[in-house]
Chains A and B, each alone.
Chain A
Amino acid sequence: MATTTDPSVEHAPKGEEGPRRRDFINLAAVGTAGVGGLAVLYPLISQMAPSKDVLAASTTELDISAIEPGQSVKAIFRSQPVFVRNLTQAEIDEAEAVDVGSLRDAESLADRTLPGNENILVVMGVCTHLGCVPLGAAEGENKGEYGGYFCPCHGSHYDTAARIRKGPAPTNLVVPDYEFTSDTTILIG
């Protein structure tokens, strides 16, 4: 059938501006559509970020008056466990006796507690290796070789200041932002 050239697809440019103008309009139209497509990505991506209620529920208040020296409690902060420990004098001494420079993640006990309350150690109960909950907060749990916390998943040992001493974890247990709102209550977050 197709013997002659198709008469329907002749693009006779009208004057010399023809092709250039057409190319510009096509480019602009396709480009604008592309910009629109990219703009749609923004809400599609941001909808997966924490929603407003999750962001708002990011403080935890805790009464610590009942924690005896040597004991610790578990609380929940941002859907994760927090360990609050009332250190005994022996534990404080043990932590301070360590040469900070020799540690994998060099921090002193004072760096990790608030002034005036050096016996209250607040750390996230999330192993910095791969996120398991270490043992040692509850009575009778394995506190590891250094008397602090021990993560059973891959064998990370933390000392009495919850600093990494042995095992695969790269850093000390994280100390969250917190403050004393009274002598016996702390506000985490």
Chain B
Amino acid sequence: MSFPWAKEYTPQHPLMQFLDEKLPLPRLVYNAVGAGYPVPRNLSYFWNFGVLAGFCLMVQILTGVVLAMHYAAETTVAFASIEHIMRDVNWGWMMRYAHMNGAHMFFAVIYIHIFRGLFYSSYKAPREMIWLIGVVIFLLMMATAFMGYVLPWGQMSFWGAQVITGLFSAIPLVGEPLQIWILGGYAPDNAALNRFFSLHFLLPFVIAGCVILHIWALHIPGSSNPTGVEVKQESDTIPFHPYYTAKDGFGLGIFLLIYFTLVFFLPNMLGHVENSIPANPLSTPAHIVPEWYFYPFYAILRAFTYDLTIPFTGVVLIQAKLLGVLAMFGSILLWFFLPWLDKSPVKSGHYRPVFRKFFWFGLIPCMAVLFVCGGAPAAEPYVMLSQIATAYYFLHFLVILPIISSLESPEPLPFSITEAVLGKDDNAKLGGATAQPAE
């Protein structure tokens, strides 16, 4: 791919020339994240989060491999092996806290990354494939995080496994056999723990593979940018290295400051105290919730409290349990359709006055409510709030977005990124183009 003005990799050293001929790995890196990748010159700090997410994945794999050297996936010793890591393994406490809080940071970064994409419509042509792979990565992350949370075999681990696999039992006919198959038994036990460990080890590498596809797909059209106007000319871009490597380096520093504050000073803040109690299949904790990054989806799950019946007959059409499960999976799966739901030719929310209002005053408060309600007990007023927010969530993506993308009249776009940055672009007069979205 790439733009015609992208710099060519020219190895100087004979060794590098040899390597370039036999296995052009340095060339690959040079063109991917080096000087050979021209990037729009106007990226904001919201564009740092892709690199940060990649960093999180590496931290998780590294600390995870270390933890797997000391962990034992067997129900009678799993909990004790975690305590062995915390107390006896050299730097074990640090590795474990880094892994725990690394997961929190990973999701925080990913959520910002996703909402960056939603605001700037990064899912639109020509970047549909990047978005689709991204949704797959997010689903894989959720599965990985869930299975990882089961491994310490504390109370929340056990009951999380019970409740989440219970979601599958809502599926008509095959639900219960499916749940039993997933668990390898009638309740979470050794079989479940072992397969979750195996898959928790495997999936991050699948994610890494998807990340490579994600970046590959990104390099076909190149990065988007805050104006949503596509790159037209060389002056619109700067090389990734050194400009964005430096910017990402600074962003990484800020990220690490927050991450290490969590790891070293508030390591258990985002966890649940119940997971310091060994799993007890005979007693459920009073207040059972997933980790915070699942809260919005958990809130959607719990928003459906009544079976759908034919009015005045009492005939149940769909049980509330199944509705909740459908809505929860649907709330993520609908992201797959976004590129075709939002047909507005303008990408950036900065130039879409109506979309922008619905984004900031609709979607963001809606997500905030879902985050709060997902972690709150299943009682009023949280249930009612989460119902309103859930309704808005579906309306926003499935109804409002398609409608406003047809009705809204966008604000005038700059001719080019250069014009957006410098205030003028000499090529604009030459080309005589009016402000049209680049396709």
Which A residues form the contact surface with B (CB < 8 A)?
A: 1-2, 6-9, 26, 29, 33, 43-44, 46-49, 51-54
Contacts and interface: CB of A to CB of B under 8 A. Distances in A.
A50 B94 CA distance: 16
Given A1-B233, A47-B90, 16 more contacts: A1-B4, A6-B5, A7-B235, A8-B235, A8-B418, A9-B238, A9-B239, A43-B90, A43-B94, A47-B66, A47-B89, A47-B95, A51-B84, A51-B92, A52-B87, A53-B88
Contacts of A43: 90-91, 94-95
B69 interface: yes
27 contacts: A1-B3, A1-B5, A1-B232, A2-B4, A6-B5, A6-B234, A7-B235, A8-B41, A8-B235, A8-B238, A9-B238, A9-B239, A26-B242, A29-B246, A43-B90, A43-B91, A47-B90, A47-B92, A47-B95, A48-B69, A51-B70, A51-B84, A51-B88, A51-B89, A51-B90, A51-B92, A53-B84
Contacts of B232: 1
Instruction: With a 10 A CB-CB cut-off, give which of A6, A29, A33, A46 has the most chain B CB atoms.
Output: A6
Contacts of A53: 84, 88
A39 to B, nearest CB: 12
A2 B3 CA distance: 10
B24 interface: no
Interface string B219-247: 00000000000001111001100100010
A71 B246 CA distance: 73
Contact of B90 (A8, A29, A33, A49): A49
A43 B84 CA distance: 16
A47 B234 contact: no
Contacts of B185: none
Interface residues of B, number: 27
Contacts of A33: 249
Contacts of B418: 8
Contacts of B62: 44
Contact of B91 (A2, A8, A9, A46): A46
Nearest to B69: A48
A54 B69 CA distance: 15
Instruction: With a 10 A CB-CB cut-off, give which of A1, A44, A46, A54 has the most chain B CB atoms.
Output: A1
A49 B234 CA distance: 54
Interface string B1-31: 0011100000000000000000000000000
Contacts, number: 55
A2 B5 contact: yes
Contacts of A48: 69
A82 to B, nearest CB: 24
B69 A52 contact: no
A53 to B, nearest CB: 4
Contacts of A46: 90-91
A29 B250 CA distance: 10
A29 B249 contact: yes
Nearest to A29: B249
Given A1-B4, A33-B249, A47 B69 contact: yes
Contacts of B3: 1
A129 B94 CA distance: 39
A33 B4 CA distance: 33
Closest 8 CB pairs of A and B: A43-B91, A2-B5, A51-B88, A52-B88, A2-B234, A53-B88, A51-B89, A46-B90
Nearest to A42: B91
Nearest to A7: B235
Contacts of A47: 66, 69-70, 89-92, 95
Contacts of A52: 87-90
Interface string B371-413: 0000000000000000000000000000000000000000000
B46 to A, nearest CB: 21
A46 B392 CA distance: 52
Nearest to A36: B256
A54 B95 CA distance: 19
A7 B418 CA distance: 10
A26 B246 CA distance: 9
Contacts of B234: 1-2, 6
A21 to B, nearest CB: 15
Interface in B77-102: 84, 87-92, 94-95
A53 B85 CA distance: 11
Contacts of B84: 51, 53
A52 B4 CA distance: 59
A26 B234 CA distance: 26
Contacts of B242: 26
A30 to B, nearest CB: 9
A6 B235 contact: yes
A42 to B, nearest CB: 8
Instruction: With a 10 A CB-CB cut-off, give which of A8, A29, A43, A48 has the most chain B CB atoms.
Output: A8
Contacts of A7: 235
A57 B201 CA distance: 31
A86 to B, nearest CB: 37
Interface in B42-72: 62, 66, 69-70
Contacts of B95: 43, 47
A26 B249 CA distance: 11
Contacts of B90: 43, 46-47, 49, 51-52
Nearest to A46: B90
